Amino acid sequence: MPTPENTCLPTAGAGQRKDATELCPSAADAKSCPDGSCQQDLLQQYTQLKDRFLRCTNALASAAHDLKTPLSILSGYIELLQSEKLGGLNDRQREVLRDMRSSGLRLQHFIQDFLTYSVLETGELRMQFEMGDMNGCISEVCSLWSNRFQEKGLALYFLANDKLPQFPFDSAKVQRVLSNLLENASKFTPAGGTVWLHAEPHMWERRAVQKPAIPGERRRQNVAVPNSVKVSVSDTGPGIAAEFHLEVFDDFFRLPQNANQVDGMGLGLAIARRLV
């Protein structure tokens, strides 16, 4: 979390921007507050904004959670009608029920995205590591998405890698990340396209994240031993313009040209990045 000393606090309304000179105290202002009262004011504003944001997030998450039960009941009745156990259906009725089920599933996904986002924002996420098979985990996700890809005229491929050993990981979180990536690929890959999943042993350089290497430091081993698994999702879609590469993982970010054409809240990739 950035500290108030080097961060400009947002005071503009939603969707508005102000010049940095309007938000950060100038050198003259700093001189007029030799006792540090300006920094104290900034800290207080920062804390108030953070608390307000968390309260709003929790309130919306609570509302989203309350929608899950009636939505599940509605989905159950739709499935019951589709099974024709309550009577036969004509083609038009089947089409209407398919549309209803599709809309219900889309709404369920939005609700789950927001619930996951609220948990990540409040820092209440807990990982559950269990020994498992990454190949099996990925295969299960592909099975869940196979019908969706077939409906869109897309091919989905995953070839299991026998070099992956079993190791402890949170299978549910991994599947959530992969599902978000596959959903993104299904949205933006044209019909007739292909999506691939690939997993391989990988050497994750932890010190690159925690601290830079010390000059002259050498590894204890000459060969880098894999200590993680790298999972890649690639497709034949148009890709993301380079100008948006830094923003695409931001909360609620959507590409301008797709904002009104593609469903979603802009949380899928943001959630995937935070879970990883």
Give me 275's structure tokens.
């879970």
**Cα dist from 190 to 81, 127, 182, 185, 262, whole Å:** 33, 35, 14, 9, 13
User: How is the chain split into domains, by residue range?
Assistant: 38-122, 130-212+222-239
**Model confidence at 220: pLDDT above 80:** no
Region 42-50 average pLDDT = 84
Angular region, 192: left φ>0, alpha ψ -120 to 50, beta rest: left
Name the residue with higher pLDDT: 267 or 21: 267
Q: In degrees to the nearest 10, what's the CA dihedral of 56, 62, 68, 69?
A: -150
Cα–Cα distance measured from residue 102 to residue 68, given in angstroms and rounded to the nearest whole number: 16
Q: Is 8 exposed, middle or buried (0-12, 13-18, 19+ CB in 10 A)?
A: middle
Picking from 203, 134, 120, the residue whose alpha carbon sits closest to that of residue 166 is 134
Calculate mean pLDDT across residues 160-168. 92
pLDDT at 239 over 90: no
Task: Using the predicted structure, report yes or no on whether residue 189 has a pLDDT greater than 90.
Answer: yes
**pLDDT at residue 246, rounded to an integer:** 85
**23 has pLDDT over 60:** no
Architecture of domain 38-122: Orthogonal Bundle (1.10)
Tokens of 118: 């609220």
pLDDT reported for residue 216: 52
pLDDT of residue 68: 78
Residue 27 has pLDDT above 60, yes or no: no
Using CA atoms, how far apart are residues 223 and 233, in angstroms rounded to an integer?
27
**HSE-CB of 274 using CA atoms within 13 angstroms:** 19
Across residues 13-25, what is the average pLDDT? 42
pLDDT value, residue 223: 59
The answer as to CATH 3.30.565.10 being correct for domain 130-212+222-239 is: yes
pLDDT band, residue 12 (cuts 50/70/90): very low
Question: Which pLDDT band holds residue 32 (cuts at 50, 70, 90)?
Answer: low
- Position 206 scores a pLDDT of 65
Tokens 């000459």 correspond to what residue?
Answer: 222
User: Which residue reads 């939005």 in tokens?
Assistant: 110
- Give CA–CA dist 158/148, Å, rounded: 16
- pLDDT tens per residue across span 97-150: 988 988 888 888 888 887 888 888 877 788 899 999 999 999 999 998 998 899
Predicted pLDDT at 140 = 94
Q: Is the per-residue pLDDT at 18 higher than 60?
A: no
Per-residue model confidence (pLDDT) at position 21: 40
Say yes or no to pLDDT of 64 above 90: no
Query: Mean pLDDT over residues 46-67, rounded?
Result: 77
Instruction: Kindly report the average pLDDT of the chain as a whole number.
Output: 79
Question: What percentage of the chain exceeds 90 in pLDDT?
Answer: 35
